Structure 1
Amino acid sequence: MTHMTRRTALASMGAALATPALVSRASAAEVTLRLHHFLPPVAPMHTSFFEVWAAELAEASEGAIEVQIFPAMQLGGKPPQLADQVRNGICDIAWTLPVYTPDRFPVAETMSNPFMVTNAEKTSVALHNLMDEFGGDEYRGMKPLAYHTHDGGKLHTRDAPVLSAADLQGLKLRAPNQSTGDMLAGFGAEVVFFPVTEMVVGLSSGVIDGCCLPYEVVPAFKLQELTSFTSEPAAGARGLYANSFSLLMNEARYEGLSDDLRGVIDAASGIELSRRIGKQFDGFEAFGRGVVEKHGNTIEEIPVEEINRWREAASPVHEAWIAKLNDRGHDGAAIMARANELLDAG
């Protein structure tokens, strides 16, 4: 059905014919897409986004598209393998973090540098624009459906708050990515990096004293019970960091769909989906902060002046990232300048 959507075609038939068609189509999907991600099924991203989005695709396609969601790596493998799984067809759609395969998707990873975040909605739109302008070749064999970030990370610690760089000295911290880890190490922290799914064991066993994460992760892993203090940048300051995410579809699977079903996918993806996911993450952030407050943990504010000192101290990390982009054939300075311009706009 090249020139008409299913909905238009059905509407033109008349009620007597349309109703049986809808019933038969709804009883058996024409296309089943397997969506794979690493978070537990109780995570808000699963319940408030993936399940809702899957239902929207089913409705928009009149039941022709069914999305089966596999949380917590139920299709096997580890989180760093998700991009390859979608490229190789092990799953049809995957939600993944570029930082889980460091330096492989450097343009997408740029927003994961320190202090490259305002809030999740605005930063997600900035990231999507940055990828459209500079990162089009990074996901060969895959069709990106959305790019987004979470809100800025906070420092969650067991024994004392972090209000200055001096407080980081000797602190064993799980870093969220390499570049943020480099910044924290520059302040004297002892940094380790492993996926968020392994962090509970690290905190429970005392391998680490704390972690750098947004509030939205807290409820799913009960981090409010494993830490007692949270240190957050003052309002108006850039966030400490935000990891970028990519929602990817197998390109051959997408191209193999009929014109009208590709149209359904197109209408449910793109920059507006990136904006929507970012906005949802801002909501998840507010909820997670409420969980920390309700548990009675202490929330402290890192002053703007201190954050500005940290930003200045992080400039070698940004310079190293520019050099890395240059090594990959990009104009690193232009990408970093454009990222900051997009973040500061509006």
Structure 2
Amino acid sequence: MHLIKHAAFAAAFTMTATSAAAQEVTLRFQHFVSPASANPTYFMQPWADAIEEQSQGRIKVELYPFMQLGGAAPNQYDLIRDGAIDGGWVIPGYQPNRFPEAEAMELPFMTTKSGEEASAAAWEFTQEFLMDDFADVHVIAAHMHGPGIVHKRGASVATVEDFAGLKLRGPSRPATLLLDQLGATPIGMPVPQFPEALSKGVVDGGVITWEMSPSLKLNELTDSHTDVAGDRALYNLYFIWAMNKDVYDGMPEDLRAIIDANSGMMASMWAGRAHDTGDVVGHELMAADGNEIAELSVAETDRIKALGEIVTANWIVEMDEKGFDGAALVDAAQGYVAGNIAQ
């Protein structure tokens, strides 16, 4: 009888030990958008699946959309740093003036319309200028999205003058500075607030990507979608995919190696490519719903570029006053973008 009990206990212990060995680490990553949008669909979930597969189940990555673990999108960096969550998606620009050097990548017409190319440049720029800014988290990837589009109620904007007086949502300080130069009334807000602001008439429209349009129901909340001419994006937005430093440092070395193998340039380009994929889908869905799809003329785009150059020149002066070399930051960002344009 005792032998049976001991055998049963040993079997139970073995099963428990095996289960524990099978999953050593659970990482809770949080973001602030729909799980059906491009980055969660084409980057975050595949990234989580790759980590789990390559670790043979020893690492499990749980993804929580819509800030389900608590907090607000602008505070995501601090939630990761403080260990409230293990990792997540951060838009540094949601905290204006906290990470000023990152804004160089977000200046008007800085990047091409390829999220993958822009993200390769963003990773290189991050390595040179931003790792000290993000020293209290573990950066996995740094990336950009595809082109930012003007979405609004009513007819599309066709000239610079059409922006006058429009209340337009902007995601970052460089974007709102450009909207101001265009004569619009810029209203900075995180993406989760945009649909409600549209539905209540707080804004007439805003700038955001094609890929986010379906999940935000911009086919219902707006009537027109306008891009600039050429291969440069009106604006772009800088992101990091990061995890808590203590959590990363506390993982076994072989499991950290799996995170490392899915980090850096490859992960950054993967995240940017996710936006490119989603942009195609989003564009098609907006067009299929009968909304107006427009592109500004080359002449009007050139007028906007000239206003963008004013934004950049003012930004350089502002950065110099803060003790940074603004021109060097812009030159570096331009150089990294140029170096990653597909030939």
Please indicate, yes or no, whether the TM-score normalized by the shorter chain is above 0.5.
yes
Pairing partner for 1:331 from 306, 320, 325: 325
Q: Could you tell me how far 1:27 is from its partner in structure 2?
A: 7.4
| In structure 2, C-alpha distance between the alignment counterparts of 1:244 and 1:216, rounded to whole Å | 16
Q: What's the counterpart of residue 6 of structure 2?
A: none
Residue 207 (structure 2) pairs with residue 212 (structure 1): yes
One-letter identity of the residue aligned with 1:244: Y
Q: What's the counterpart of residue 8 of structure 1?
A: none
| In structure 2, C-alpha distance between the alignment counterparts of 1:242 and 1:290, rounded to whole Å | 21
Q: Could you tell me how far 1:235 is from its partner in structure 2?
A: 3.5
Q: How do 1:246-257 and structure 2 match up within 5 A?
A: 246-257=240-251
Q: Could you say what secondary structure the match of 1:220 adopts?
A: coil
**Preserved CA contact (<8 Å) 2:38 2:277:** no
Residue 148 (structure 2) pairs with residue 153 (structure 1): yes
Q: What's the counterpart of residue 263 of structure 1?
A: 257
| In structure 2, C-alpha distance between the alignment counterparts of 1:188 and 1:103, rounded to whole Å | 23
Larger relative contact order (CA 8 Å, sep ≥ 6) = 2
| In structure 2, C-alpha distance between the alignment counterparts of 1:89 and 1:128, rounded to whole Å | 24
One-letter identity of the residue aligned with 1:221: L
The share of aligned pairs that are identical, in percent, is 37
Pairing partner for 1:311 from 305, 316, 319: 305
Q: Deviations over 1:279-309 (max 9, x none)?
A: 1111101110001110011111112222222
Q: Could you tell me how far 1:234 is from its partner in structure 2?
A: 1.7
Q: Could you tell me how far 1:110 is from its partner in structure 2?
A: 2.0
**Preserved CA contact (<8 Å) 1:229 1:297:** yes
RMSD across aligned C-alpha pairs, in angstroms?
Answer: 1.8
Q: Deviations over 1:73-108 (max 9, x none)?
A: 111110011100110011111101011111211222
Residue 119 (structure 2) pairs with residue 124 (structure 1): yes
Q: What's the counterpart of residue 17 of structure 1?
A: none
Pairing partner for 2:292 from 280, 290, 298: 298
TM-score, normalising length: structure 1: 0.89
Q: Could you say what secondary structure the match of 2:40 adopts?
A: helix
Q: Deviations over 1:207-233 (max 9, x none)?
A: 211111110110111111111111111
| In structure 1, C-alpha distance between the alignment counterparts of 2:234 and 2:88, rounded to whole Å | 26
Q: Deviations over 1:231-276 (max 9, x none)?
A: 111233x111111111111111111111111110100111111011
| In structure 2, C-alpha distance between the alignment counterparts of 1:135 and 1:161, rounded to whole Å | 37
**Preserved CA contact (<8 Å) 1:58 1:66:** yes
Q: Could you say what secondary structure the match of 1:212 adopts?
A: strand
Q: What's the counterpart of residue 133 of structure 1?
A: 128
Residue 216 (structure 2) pairs with residue 221 (structure 1): yes
Q: Deviations over 1:20-64 (max 9, x none)?
A: 99x936874101111011112332322332222111101111111
Pairing partner for 1:197 from 192, 200, 215: 192
One-letter identity of the residue aligned with 1:198: Q
**Preserved CA contact (<8 Å) 1:125 1:275:** yes
**Preserved CA contact (<8 Å) 2:103 2:174:** no
Q: What's the counterpart of residue 183 of structure 1?
A: 178
Residue 54 (structure 2) pairs with residue 65 (structure 1): no
| In structure 1, C-alpha distance between the alignment counterparts of 2:278 and 2:36, rounded to whole Å | 13
Q: Deviations over 1:104-151 (max 9, x none)?
A: 112223212221221111100001101111222010211110011111
| In structure 1, C-alpha distance between the alignment counterparts of 2:127 and 2:317, rounded to whole Å | 21
Residue 106 (structure 2) pairs with residue 115 (structure 1): no
Q: Could you tell me how far 1:328 is from its partner in structure 2?
A: 4.5
| In structure 1, C-alpha distance between the alignment counterparts of 2:115 and 2:299, rounded to whole Å | 23
Q: Could you tell me how far 1:327 is from its partner in structure 2?
A: 4.2
| In structure 2, C-alpha distance between the alignment counterparts of 1:56 and 1:306, rounded to whole Å | 45
Q: Structure 1 88/292 Cα, relative in aligned 2: closer, same or farther at 3 Å?
A: same
One-letter identity of the residue aligned with 1:331: D
Unpaired runs of at least 5, structure 2:
1-13
Q: Deviations over 1:293-332 (max 9, x none)?
A: 1001111111222222211122232123223433444322
Q: Could you tell me how far 1:184 is from its partner in structure 2?
A: 1.4
Q: What's the counterpart of residue 335 of structure 2?
A: 341
Q: Could you say what secondary structure the match of 1:69 adopts?
A: strand
| In structure 2, C-alpha distance between the alignment counterparts of 1:332 and 1:25, rounded to whole Å | 54
TM-score, normalising length: structure 2: 0.90
